[in-house]
Amino acid sequence: MSRLRRAWLVALALLLASCGGGGPWQLKDIKGVVPDLAFNLTDDSGRRVSAADYRGRTVLLFFGYTNCPDVCPTTLVKLAAALKDLGPAAHGAQVLFVTVDPKRDTLEALHRYARAFGSHVTGLRGSAAELRELAKRYRISYSYGTPDASGNYDVTHSSAVFVFDAEGNARLLVMPDSGEKAIAHDLKLLLGARQG
């Protein structure tokens, strides 16, 4: 299954590479390629939420887990820096951090983690079934390693950040090598289009 998902990602990357070049975007344009925003999860304050709760905002959807001290913070810090570049316009943007490790990531842990990165970040958690459904929708891969003597285990996860416009349409993909400037540039366009 994970091989299948990886194959899908590679296919997506190839497709995107072949049709890139046009348009004003510096990030990967995924309009019409990735499904629109839809989920049923619990936010880090314990509220049941769905995509409808974030209509009207530009949503940055990111999958990770709090026991990830290297890649996840690097991405969240990069997103925060890009949003800071936007000034007050950033209020129209919302980062949703979905944990792929709901077993260890309690709502409380998720809340502390998300808040540490700023008020624009909200942690989301689902049951195993809810997470599976969401992962399937966005072709997100995650898996767990074997726990060690103290119960710690590795989590493997996709790194991309999906960007959705105010209507919930998938628009852009932030990759690990996407720069802060490119993210800020595209978010500014997306947020501007919303107001225009």
Partner 1 sequence: MRGILCAALFAFALPALAGGAAVADAWLRYIPGGTPAAGYFTLSNQSDKSLSLVGAECADFGMVMMHRTLERGGIFTMRPVHEVTVAPGKTFSFAPGGYHLMLMRPKHPLRPGGRLPITLRFADGSSLPVEFVVKSLQAR
Asked if residue 74 binds partner 1 (CB under 8 A), the reply is yes
Of 50 and 143, nearer to partner 1 (C-beta) is 143
Asked if residue 189 binds partner 1 (CB under 8 A), the reply is no
Is the separation of the CB atoms in 98 and 135 below 8 Å?
A: no
Asked if residue 34 binds partner 1 (CB under 8 A), the reply is no
SS3 category, 57: coil
Q: Of the candidates 30, 34, 39, 66, which one interacts with partner 1 according to CB under 8 A?
A: 66
Q: Cα dist. 194→44, 161, 181 in Å?
A: 27, 20, 20
Q: Of the candidates 41, 59, 61, 68, which one interacts with partner 1 according to CB under 8 A?
A: 68
Asked if residue 80 binds partner 1 (CB under 8 A), the reply is yes
Of 153 and 194, nearer to partner 1 (C-beta) is 153
Stretch of residues binding partner 1 (CB under 8 A), selected from 30-38, 67-75, 128-136, 182-190? 67-75
Asked if residue 32 binds partner 1 (CB under 8 A), the reply is no
At which residue do the structure tokens 């309009």 appear? 31
Residues in region 85-144 near partner 1 by CB under 8 A: 109, 112-113, 116-117, 141
Amino acid at 101: D
Distance separating alpha carbons of residues 2 and 44, to the nearest angstrom: 28
Is the separation of the CB atoms in 166 and 91 below 8 Å?
A: no
57 has which bridge partners?
Answer: none
Stretch of residues binding partner 1 (CB under 8 A), selected from 17-25, 53-61, 73-81, 123-131? 73-81
Q: Cα dist. 89→30, 55, 58, 86, 166 in Å?
A: 23, 16, 11, 6, 13
User: Would strands 28-29 and 48-50 be described as parallel, antiparallel, or unpaired?
Assistant: unpaired
We find the least distance from the C-beta atom of residue 176 to partner 1, in angstroms, to be: 6
Under the rule (CB under 8 A), what is the footprint of partner 1? 6, 9-10, 13, 66-71, 73-74, 77-78, 80-81, 109, 112-113, 116-117, 141, 150, 152, 154-160, 175-176
